[in-house]
């Protein structure tokens, strides 16, 4: 964008003041287009906590950004990039990002909620069996045949979103053991990503 500015130059010529208009162009750069990213669609169990969204959730525009997730029901904080969701219902969640100049961008994701399995063996969205849960040493993951192609990433995060453990492998290995020894007792969220799909499940680590 070009802005034309006209200034008046005053000069002393032969004892008299003379005014001369001077023009020059000032070029200013426009910020890139503001874009929002709500992340991949998710699958989780009924009433199990899962982190939605991704970071960064916005690019372009002018910092700082503000965030608003809708609907906010079940979210611990609908005004942050990656809130934690606990719900019993499948739903679409919309993210609206606003930059420093009031420009907005939006994106959405779908969360599919299914029922959980038994006490120590949990089936997640028909794609993953997790056992034993609670666990104190090893967490075993057994994958369905739908996820035998490509690579997978399992991440164990605490309630604040901090990554405690990460493991990546190829789908040809349908049974994987995660070593949780050394991880403090408490409640964690297991997130398993395959391509653009992510499923999550609550994990309890016991002494």
Q: Where are the domains of the chain?
A: 35-113, 116-205
Tokens of 46: 């009924």
Nearest to 197 by CA among 138, 131, 124: 124
Indicate the pTM of the whole model.
Answer: 0.51
Distances (CA, A) of 157 to 52, 114, 150, 187, 206: 13, 21, 23, 9, 15
- CATH number of the 116-205 domain: 2.60.40.3080
207 residues of the chain, pLDDT tens digit each: 444 544 444 444 555 555 555 555 545 567 899 999 998 888 777 777 888 999 999 999 999 999 999 888 889 999 999 999 988 777 888 899 999 999 999 898 888 776 544 345 555 656 778 888 888 899 988 877 777 677 888 999 887 778 899 999 886 777 889 999 999 998 888 888 887 777 777 788 988
**3-state percent breakdown (helix, strand, coil) of the chain, nearest 5:** 0, 55, 45
- Comparing 35-113 with 116-205, is the CATH topology the same? yes
Q: Is 157 exposed, middle or buried (0-12, 13-18, 19+ CB in 10 A)?
A: buried
Q: Domain 35-113's class?
A: mainly beta
DSSP string, 123-144: EETTTEEEESSSBSSEEEEEE-
């Amino acid at each position: 964008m070009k802005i034309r500015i006209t200034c008046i130059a005053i000069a002393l010529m032969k004892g008299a003041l003379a005014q001369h208009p001077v023009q020059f162009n000032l070029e200013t750069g426009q910020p890139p287009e503001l874009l929002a990213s709500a992340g991949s669609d998710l699958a989780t169990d009924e009433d199990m906590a899962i982190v939605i969204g991704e970071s960064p959730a916005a690019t372009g525009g002018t910092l700082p950004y503000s965030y608003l997730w809708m609907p906010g029901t079940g979210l611990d904080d609908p005004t942050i990039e990656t809130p934690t969701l606990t719900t019993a219902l499948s739903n679409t969640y919309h993210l609206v990002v606003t930059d420093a100049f009031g420009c907005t961008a939006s994106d959405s994701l779908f969360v599919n909620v299914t029922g959980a399995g038994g006490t120590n063996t949990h089936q997640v969205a028909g794609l993953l069996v997790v056992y034993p849960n609670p666990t104190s040493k090893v967490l075993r993951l057994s994958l369905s045949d739908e996820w035998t192609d490509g690579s997978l990433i399992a991440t164990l995060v605490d309630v604040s979103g901090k990554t405690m453990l990460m493991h990546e492998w190829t789908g040809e290995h349908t049974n994987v053991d995660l070593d949780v020894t050394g991880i403090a007792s408490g409640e964690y969220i297991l997130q398993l990503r395959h391509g653009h799909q992510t499923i999550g499940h609550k994990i309890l680590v016991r002494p």
